[in-house]
Amino acid sequence: MGLFSRDSNPRGSQPHGAGQTPDAQLNAVVHGHVQGVGFRYWTKGEATPLGLTGYAKNLDDGTVEVLAQGTREACQQLLDALNSGNTAGRVDHVDAEIVEPGETRGGFETL
C-alpha cells in the first residue's frame, strides 16, 4: 500500500487530481467569529484530504469566502464540515450553494 493509496484518505474520496476536471463547485460565505482564529487553515485542512482545490479568503466584512472544486460528494462533505460546529472559531451560519464548476483551480490556498 503506497503513501497515496485509497486507505490513506480517511474520508474515502479520491482527489480529482491534475488533469481531471471537477464536476462541482462549492461557493460559501461563512459568518461568525471566523477571522483571526485559524479558520482558513482549518478549512484547507478539511478540503485537501477530500481532493478539493480552491481557496478560503477573509472578506472585509469579517466573513470567510470558501470556493472549493472537486466531486459533488467532496463538496458536500466540506459543506457538512463547515456546518458541523467542530470548526476553528465559531460559525454562526453558512450561505452556500453547490454549482457547476467555473475556471478550474489548482491546489487549495488561504488568501
pLDDT digits (tens, 9 = 90+) for 22-61: 899 999 999 999 999 999 999 999 999 999 999 999 999 9
Residue 2 lies inside a defined structural domain of this protein? no
Domain residue limits at 79: 31-102
Report the number of distinct structural domains present in the chain.
1
Identify which has the larger pLDDT, 105 or 35.
35
User: What CATH number is associated with residue 91?
Assistant: 3.30.70.100
Predicted confidence (pLDDT) per residue in 84-93, tens digit: 999 999 999 9
* pLDDT value of position 106: 87
Contact 48, 105 (CB under 8 A): no
Residue 18 within a domain: no
Taking a C-beta distance cutoff of 8 angstroms, is the pair 83, 91 a contact?
Answer: yes
Q: How many CA atoms lie within 13 A of 18 on its CB side?
A: 0
Asked if residue 9 belongs to a domain, the reply is: no
Out of 40, 83, 86, 105, pick the active-site residue: 40
pLDDT of res. 17: 47
Query: Does the pLDDT of residue 7 top 80, yes or no?
Result: no
pTM of the predicted structure, to 2 decimals: 0.82
Residue 102 has a pLDDT of 86
Q: Does some domain include residue 58?
A: yes
Q: CA dist 48 to 10, 36, 60, Å?
A: 11, 21, 25
Whether residue 93 lies inside any domain: the answer is yes
Q: Of the residues 11, 58, 83, 105, which is catalytic?
A: 58
Annotation marks residue 40 as catalytic: yes
4 falls within a domain: no
Residue-level pLDDT at 12: 42
* Portion of the chain with pLDDT greater than 70, in percent: 82
